[in-house]
Copies of this chain bind each other. A is one copy, B any other.
Amino acid sequence: MSDLLERLRGRGWRMTAQRRVVAEVLDGDHIHLTADEVHARAVAKLPEISRATVYNTLGEMVSLGEVVEVSTDRRAKRYDPNAHRPHQHLVCAQCGTIRDVHPTGNPLTDLPDSERFGFTISDVEVTYRGTCPNCASA
C-alpha cells in the first residue's frame, strides 16, 4: 500500500479509482515522472482514466503539499512524491536520470546582503548537473 495514498486518505479526500492509481504510480524513491508519464502508467492499470484527471489529481496533490513539482529540464514539469523531506536534485545531462540529493549546509548563507537587492528570500532551489555512471561508461 502506498504511503502517499495513506496520507491522502487521512485528509478526507474522496477516494476514487483514478486517484488511487495516480497515487500508486507515484510510489517509490527517486520518482520524478512527467504528467504524461504518470498518465501512461495509470492507463495500464485503469484504461479509461483521462489525461485531464491526471493533471487535476497531480495538481491537488501539489496543493495539499504531498507532491512537489520539479523542473529540472525545460520540458515538462515532473512530480515528486518525496515531499516530506526537503531535498535537491542531481540530473544526468545525457539520459535525464534524476536522483534526490541532500547537500550539507544552507545555501542561503552563501548569498551576502549586498546581493539580495532588498528581497525577502524564502526558498532556494539547487540543481546539480553532470554525467551518471551509466552514461560515463558507455
Question: Which A residues form the contact surface with B (CB < 8 A)?
Answer: 69, 71, 74, 77, 90, 92-93, 99, 101-105, 107-108, 110-112, 115-133, 136
Contact = CB atoms under 8 A, between A and B. Distances in A.
Chain A interface, DSSP helix/strand/loop, else mixed: mixed
Identical chains bound together, number: 2
A90 B133 CA distance: 32
Nearest to A112: B104
B120 A110 contact: no
A50 B61 CA distance: 41
Contacts of A107: 103, 107, 110, 126
Given A103-B107, A103-B115, 19 more contacts: A69-B74, A71-B74, A74-B77, A90-B116, A101-B117, A103-B111, A103-B112, A104-B110, A104-B112, A117-B132, A117-B133, A119-B130, A119-B132, A121-B128, A122-B129, A123-B128, A123-B130, A124-B129, A126-B126
